[in-house]
Amino acid sequence: MSLVKAVVRELVGMFVADLGLTLALLAVVAGAAGMIDLLSAPPLAGGVLLTVGTLAVLLLSVRSAAARRAH
């Protein structure tokens, strides 16, 4: 049973290293998808939003983790 728990924990941990990072990334993907599908924007514009948004999420997440741990 502990092995199953460990496997589940490992699988969840692979994709949820940090809950804030995961939620923010999912929001960026949803934003890019909405821009393409709902607003009928050119797909490449959605791609640019996805790329820039992902980079921004990385920087904000690292900055917030550094600030949290420095306190």
Partner 1 sequence: MIDWPSAAPAVGAAFLASLVEVVEAFTIVLAVATLRGWRPALSGAAAALGVLAAIVVLLGPLLDRVPLHLLQLVVGVLLLLFGLGWLRKAALRAAGIIPLHDEQAIYERETASLGAVSGTTRVAAANWIAGMAAFKAVLLEGLEVVFIVIAVGAGRGLIWPAGLGALAACALVLCVGAAVHRPLSQVPENTLKFGVGVMLAAFGVFWTGEGLGVDWPGQDFALLGFAALFLAGGLYAVRLARRTRREIAA
Q: Is 1 in the site for partner 1 (CB under 8 A)?
A: no
Q: Is 71 in the site for partner 1 (CB under 8 A)?
A: yes
Q: Where are the alpha helices (DSSP H) in the chain?
A: 2-15, 19-37, 43-70
Distance separating alpha carbons of residues 21 and 28, to the nearest angstrom: 11
Residues numbered 31-60 forming contacts with partner 1, rule: CB under 8 A: 32-33, 36, 43-44, 46-47, 50-51, 54-55, 57-59
Distance separating alpha carbons of residues 55 and 71, to the nearest angstrom: 25
Distance separating alpha carbons of residues 62 and 18, to the nearest angstrom: 10
What residue ranges bind partner 1 (CB under 8 A)?
Answer: 3, 6-7, 10-11, 14-18, 21-22, 25-26, 29, 32-33, 36, 43-44, 46-47, 50-51, 54-55, 57-59, 61-63, 65-67, 69-71
